[in-house]
């Protein structure tokens, strides 16, 4: 995996699991350790504002005993991040997305890949983006390895780093 310079690391905004961050222009957003989780980068290329969401689960189940964190879920996390982007000047009709993650981290005969959490996360993200009319321009999903992603809203650059693999830019 490619190393980051100290200057590059200091300029990045870190997005933790079950959270999202937004930025404008060249300010980079980074999230690490996307295993079965999905990193969803959304931007308005006309104004250079964008956000990166680290989705952990497909849907909020409404369990009253747990504290609700919208960004943990594909459905509520995308609603919240898109709302924030619009408040920052993005236009819904201009939004585009790139996604990464959804790796099948645990292989087991009892749970086929088609129904494990990574597949359900990916399906939920694609469905929600489709409902919102946001096209997915590029994706690096599935397989069996974790990813770190770096997103630059101004240019739309979506850099994917995977241990033992060549860096990708989508």
Structural contact between residues 37 and 141, judged by C-beta atoms closer than 8 angstroms:
no
Q: Look up 141 and say whether it is catalytic.
A: no
Name the residue among 27, 72, 36 with its Cα closest to residue 54: 72
Dist. CA 5–CA 136, nearest whole Å: 30
Which residue out of 15, 30, 37, 38 is catalytically annotated? 37
5 C-beta neighbours (distance < 10 Å), count: 8
Structural contact between residues 123 and 138, judged by C-beta atoms closer than 8 angstroms:
no
Residues ≥6 apart with Cβ < 8 Å to 106: 116
Dist. CA 47–CA 99, nearest whole Å: 20
Structural contact between residues 100 and 38, judged by C-beta atoms closer than 8 angstroms:
yes
Angle at 76 between CA 162 and CA 28, to 5 degrees: 40
Both tokens of 24, joined, read 């404008």
* Catalytic annotation, residues: 37
């Amino acid at each position: 995996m490619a190393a980051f310079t100290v200057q590059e690391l200091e300029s990045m905004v870190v997005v933790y699991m079950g959270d999202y961050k937004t930025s404008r222009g060249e300010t980079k957003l980074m999230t690490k350790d996307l295993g079965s989780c999905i990193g969803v980068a959304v931007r308005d290329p006309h104004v250079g504002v964008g956000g990166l969401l680290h989705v952990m689960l497909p849907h909020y189940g409404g369990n009253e005993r747990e504290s609700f964190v919208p960004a943990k879920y594909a459905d509520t996390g995308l609603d919240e991040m898109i709302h924030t982007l619009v408040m920052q000047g993005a236009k819904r009709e201009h939004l585009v997305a790139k996604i990464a993650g959804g790796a099948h981290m645990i292989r087991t005969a009892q749970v086929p890949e088609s129904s494990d959490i990574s597949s359900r996360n990916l399906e939920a993200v694609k469905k929600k983006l489709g409902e919102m009319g946001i096209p997915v321009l590029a994706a690096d999903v599935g397989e069996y390895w974790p990813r770190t992603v770096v997103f630059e809203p101004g240019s739309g650059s979506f850099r994917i780093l995977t241990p033992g693999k060549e860096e990708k830019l989508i």
